[in-house]
Amino acid sequence: MMKKPFVTKEKVEEIAKKIPTPFHLYDEKGIVENAKAVYEAFSWNKGFKEYFAVKANPNPVLLDLLRQEGCGFDCSSKTELLLSGAVGAQGHEIMFSSNDTPAEEFVLADKLGAIINLDDFTHIDFLEKSIGKIPETISCRYNPGGVFQMSNGIMDNPGDAKYGLTTEQIYEAFKILKEKGAKRFGIHAFLASNTVTNEYYPKLAGQLFELAVDLQKKTGAKIAFINLSGGVGIPYQPDQEGNDIYAIGQGVKEQYDKILVPAGMDDVAIYTEMGRFMMGPYGALVTKAIHEKHTYKEYIGVDACAVNLMRPAMYGAYHHITVLGKENEPCDQVYDVTGSLCENNDKFAIDRKLPKIEKGDYLFIHDTGAHGYSMGYNYNGKLKSAEVLLQKDGSFKLIRRAEKPMDYFATFDCLNVYPKICKIVEEN
């Protein structure tokens, strides 16, 4: 089975004449159609809202595309809050879920009217001291501990995660928050990452719905929403079957009808905070083969590196690679595809079977729309690449220019070095 690029070699050649590789390319049509599908899958719930995880891809053009489809934004930092506000999100269109939170970030979240999702029991007092009150709408992040396992064996270990309140703590927290003036409560949980199974959300929903019924009964707190957070993954491997968002939505509905409706809680809104599922497959890193090396292994050197996509180097993560224009040629060569960092883990692929690659070929590295550009960094003095949107009509536009040397040097402020650097850059 092969993954199909959302762009042709000819279109990439056209783009590259104006925007040099490497660049991250995004598929507007795919992003919009997927967002519509998510809302359709959960249309049975009147209050449903997808809060796109800004950390996955903080580009304002892409955020605005999602906002036009009804999405809000899940933020975890001051900068993400500012970015969400800049694209027009306001009030409860923003969810602020952070940990180890500085006071100034709670202040900004409150100023924007965002829903604040508390990560720790001690944050109740910290929040009250930071903003002078407890908001009427408040959420708490729940961590049941132990392991989270599904029928197909996929599991994660919430007990080892730094996030969330224990079962005992969340009951006590709701009582205290209610006494301090909170009127509308939310429950949030993230128990497994990048699940490629339709079972995850329904199983998580069942646990949270049962908790919600008991919490409302024992604390008197009005449960207004339940946030299933993220964790719905994408098939990075070409032989994986992707999630069916309609089956997932139906599975959550079955749990809702089974648990919440009989308890008289049929007005509870369902929220999600997907990043990877919303954007991952609709982005790619486009890079050009510029070197080949024949030593103990066969290497193809490209003009991108881990600065542009660090997941393979950091996690050993698999990203499928298509050699554009050679989709139908046999994959009878074995390569390590590498970048130019002075680190041996700077490899997009190891022992990967690919068609014969020539210098000048364009490589389409799949599924970088989430946690691709956003995880970039400047190690080795490398500069971040451009971002490009492939629009519905087949045209393209630059939505973030590539960094320049002066961007890298702009924050220096020591011993009059900056003017000297400016002069060197201008001369070179």
pLDDT digits (tens, 9 = 90+) for 179-223: 999 999 999 999 888 999 999 999 999 999 999 999 999 999 999
Q: Which residue has the tokens 């509308």?
A: 184
What rounded mean pLDDT belongs to the chain?
A: 94
Query: Which superfamily is assigned to 281-402 in CATH?
Result: Lyase, Ornithine Decarboxylase; Chain A, domain 1 (2.40.37.10)
Residue 88: what are its φ and ψ, rounded to 5°?
A: 105, -5
pLDDT at 224 over 70: yes
Q: What is the CA radius of gyration of the chain?
A: 23
Tokens standing for residue 17: 């004449």
Q: How much is the average pLDDT of 53-78?
A: 97
Q: What is the pLDDT of residue 162?
A: 79
Burial class (CB in 10 A: 0-12, 13-18, 19+), 175: middle
CA distance 190 to 22: 34
Q: What is the pLDDT of residues 301-345, one digit of tens each?
A: 999 999 999 999 999 999 999 999 999 999 999 999 999 999 999
Q: Is the fold of 28-280 the same as that of 281-402?
A: no
Q: What is the pLDDT of residue 193?
A: 87
Q: What percent of the chain has pLDDT over 70?
A: 94
Number of neighbouring beta carbons within 10 Å of residue 388? 22
- The answer to whether the CB of 8 falls within 8 A of the CB of 362 is no
Residue of 136 and 2 predicted with greater confidence: 136
Using alpha carbons, list the distances in angstroms from residue 378 to 19, 303, 341, 345, 384.
Answer: 20, 15, 10, 16, 7
Q: What is the pLDDT of residue 418?
A: 60
Burial class (CB in 10 A: 0-12, 13-18, 19+), 196: middle
pLDDT at 272 over 60: yes
Q: What is the pLDDT of residues 6-57, one digit of tens each?
A: 999 999 999 999 999 999 999 999 999 999 999 999 999 999 999 999 999 9
Residue 198: what are its φ and ψ, rounded to 5°?
A: -75, 0
pLDDT at 415 over 60: no
Using alpha carbons, list the distances in angstroms from residue 253 to 350, 374, 419.
Answer: 42, 33, 62
Q: What is the pLDDT of residue 186?
A: 98
pLDDT at 233 over 60: yes
- The domain locations on the chain are 28-280, 281-402
CA distance 227 to 72: 13
Class of domain 28-280: alpha beta
Q: What percent of the chain has pLDDT over 90?
A: 88
Helix (H) or strand (E) holding 116: strand 115-118
Short-list 122, 59, 120, CA closest to 86: 59
Q: With bands split at pLDDT 50, 70 and 90, how would you rate the model's confidence at 163? A: confident
Q: What is the pLDDT of residues 82-140, one digit of tens each?
A: 999 999 999 999 999 999 999 999 999 999 999 999 999 999 999 999 999 999 999 99
Q: What is the pLDDT of residue 416?
A: 62
